[in-house]
């Protein structure tokens, strides 16, 4: 059997690995547009900061390790078009020559591409690029370009356009390198995927660590500041009240989100769904015979919302594994996502799973969100930290719908949000969270875990 996978990141590699696990005789070919298969994009900020010394460490597996599984890697090879009727993929070799690859089953895992806001100097004719110090950050090539700018002797300041997950991580990375950093976020608070109160905690951490944060501020243009200036770029931004701010910096990093890369899927005849991502069923099938798709280019089945587009590395790995198994004729189903996320912000962490209040209301629930604070372990044992907890539940049914956490990085924020995710995944009520048999010792927790105390606070308000 000839299995062709387009895309060498999380979903694509997971699909090929799963197929080879099940049948070592599969001829699995993975078409990779660059030379960096199976690299962790999520780890890039930690290479930029210097915490990861060697960029090669960002590879989940080396090329040799991937090839040892029986995988055939076509590096530097770009897929151009899919002929679904003939079951062929047209590719462009590194030499520029064209080639047709036959497949019995195809997995499209083309991922997502950066969104560039329609701003003078960032998009359209004359858009500035790495040579001028303006960067996107989605690939290893982007990373090397950023590093080339940062390693110039004159680079001492940066403007980050976008206050989402990557923006937060890169702010910390650039501060670690000694840069003066300004973050510009068009929404009213940084990290708009969490409640504004939680985002305010995040913003406080940024400012406490020297990052200048401008919220409710939209970038209107980016241009050269003039050769005589130390700061080579000028970023112009305005608030909703019409006030204009001019910022000068040596490097401008644009991290304003991503969009699904769907052109190849569409060329195969796949239709688009939520977020204009490739529509797939829970078996990752596109409806085109022999064509599956997975990862950031496809829609996501959300356990509370149904079909959405929610690009996450954890989701891509799972979807890819399902696609690889089903390419061999299985009927595995992707169990669904809750959008569980966590990010470190200097010495704190913020996490979420499930739905915010506004998302739950839009989905037809009757949500109630209660904010609560608790110690991460018994306060009499040295080193305890306060956790900020937002619990969202449905007033009518009592179902747990969402949890958000903010606290010190030593307060087990990630593992506590995982407990919440497991509870939501299995349809538990808020009240039943108190019934969970969770571990306790004074240096690490309390008889009632902080998450359980938050759930009890919700129940008191709800009744």
Number of domains composing the chain:
3
Average pLDDT of span 97-117 = 96
271 assigned to some structural domain: yes
The pLDDT of residue 232:
83
Task: Quote the pLDDT of residue 361.
Answer: 98
pLDDT in the model for residue 227 = 63
What is the per-residue pLDDT across 139-194, written as a single tens digit (0 to 9) for each? 999 999 999 999 988 899 999 999 999 999 999 999 999 999 999 999 999 999 99
Domain termination residue (choose one: 229, 254, 279): 254
The answer to whether residues 149 and 185 belong to one domain is yes
Domain that holds residue 177: 130-254
Question: Across the strands, what pairs with 221?
Answer: 120, 236
Q: Is pLDDT above 60 for 430?
A: yes
Residue 314 located in a structural domain: yes
Average pLDDT score, the chain: 95
Q: What is the pLDDT of residues 257-303, one digit of tens each?
A: 999 999 999 999 999 999 999 999 999 999 999 999 999 999 999 99
286 is a domain residue: yes
* 366 and 427 assigned to the same domain: yes
Residue with tokens 């007033």: 395
Name the nearest CA neighbour of 69 among 7, 117, 20.
Answer: 20
pLDDT of residue 231: 57
Question: How large a percentage of the chain has pLDDT more than 70?
Answer: 99
Is residue 355 in a domain?
yes
CA distance 320 to 17: 9
The answer to whether residues 161 and 216 belong to one domain is yes
In a domain? residue 122: no
> Is a pLDDT exceeding 90 seen at residue 58?
yes
349 with 416, same domain: the answer is: yes
Candidate from 222-226, 239-243, 361-365 with smallest mean pLDDT: 239-243
Neighbour tally for 435: CB within 10 Å:
11
Residue at a domain's end among 254, 289, 309: 254
Domain shared by 242 and 266, yes or no: no
What is the arithmetic mean of pLDDT over 391-409? Answer: 98
Q: Which residue has the tokens 């099940």?
A: 22
304 with 365, same domain? no
Q: What is the CATH number of the domain that holds 454?
A: 3.50.50.60
Q: Residue 329 pLDDT more than 70? A: yes
B/e letters for 53-84, b = 16+ CB within 10 Å, e = fewer, are eebeebbbbebeebeeebbebbeebbbeebeb
């Amino acid at each position: 059997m000839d299995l062709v996978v387009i895309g060498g990141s999380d979903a694509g590699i997971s699909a090929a690995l799963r197929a080879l696990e099940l049948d070592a005789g599969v001829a699995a070919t993975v078409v990779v547009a660059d030379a960096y298969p199976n690299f962790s994009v999520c780890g890039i900020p930690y290479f930029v900061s210097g915490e990861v010394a060697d960029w090669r460490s960002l590879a989940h597996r080396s090329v040799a390790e991937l090839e040892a599984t029986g995988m055939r890697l076509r590096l530097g090879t770009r897929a151009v078009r899919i002929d679904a009727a003939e079951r062929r993929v047209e590719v462009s070799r590194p030499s520029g020559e064209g080639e047709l690859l036959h497949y019995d089953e195809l997995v499209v895992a083309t991922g997502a591409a950066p969104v560039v806001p329609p701003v003078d100097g960032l998009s359209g004719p004359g858009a500035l690029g790495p040579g001028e110090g303006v960067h996107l950050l989605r690939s290893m090539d982007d990373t090397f370009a950023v590093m080339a700018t940062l390693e110039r002797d004159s680079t001492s300041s940066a403007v980050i356009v976008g206050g989402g997950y990557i923006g937060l991580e890169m702010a910390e990375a650039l501060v670690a390198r000694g840069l003066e950093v300004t973050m510009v976020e068009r929404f009213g608070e940084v990290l708009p995927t969490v409640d504004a109160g939680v985002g305010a905690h995040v913003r406080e951490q940024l400012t406490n660590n020297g990052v200048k944060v401008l919220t409710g501020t939209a970038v209107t243009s980016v241009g050269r500041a003039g050769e005589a200036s130390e700061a080579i770029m000028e970023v112009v931004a305005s608030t909703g009240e019409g006030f204009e701010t001019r910022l000068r910096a040596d490097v401008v990093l644009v991290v304003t989100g991503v969009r699904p890369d769907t052109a190849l899927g569409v060329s195969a005849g796949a239709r688009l769904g939520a977020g204009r991502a490739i529509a797939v069923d829970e078996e990752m099938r596109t409806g085109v015979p022999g064509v599956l798709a997975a990862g950031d280019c496809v829609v996501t089945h959300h356990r509370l919302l149904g079909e959405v587009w929610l690009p996450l590395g954890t989701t891509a790995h799972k979807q890819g594994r399902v696609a690889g198994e089903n390419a061999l004729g299985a009927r595995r189903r992707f169990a669904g996502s809750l959008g569980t996320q966590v990010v470190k912000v200097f010495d704190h962490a913020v996490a979420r799973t499930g739905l915010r209040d506004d998302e739950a209301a839009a989905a037809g629930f009757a949500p109630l969100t209660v904010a609560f604070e608790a110690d991460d372990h018994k306060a009499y044992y040295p080193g305890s930290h306060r956790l900020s907890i937002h619990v969202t539940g449905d007033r009518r049914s009592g179902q747990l719908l969402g949890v958000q956490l903010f606290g010190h990085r030593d307060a087990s924020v990630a593992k506590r949000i995982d407990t919440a995710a497991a509870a939501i995944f299995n349809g538990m009520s808020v009240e039943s969270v108190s019934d969970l048999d969770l571990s306790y010792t004074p240096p690490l927790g309390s008889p009632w875990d902080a998450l359980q105390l938050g759930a009890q606070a919700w129940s008191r308000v709800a009744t």
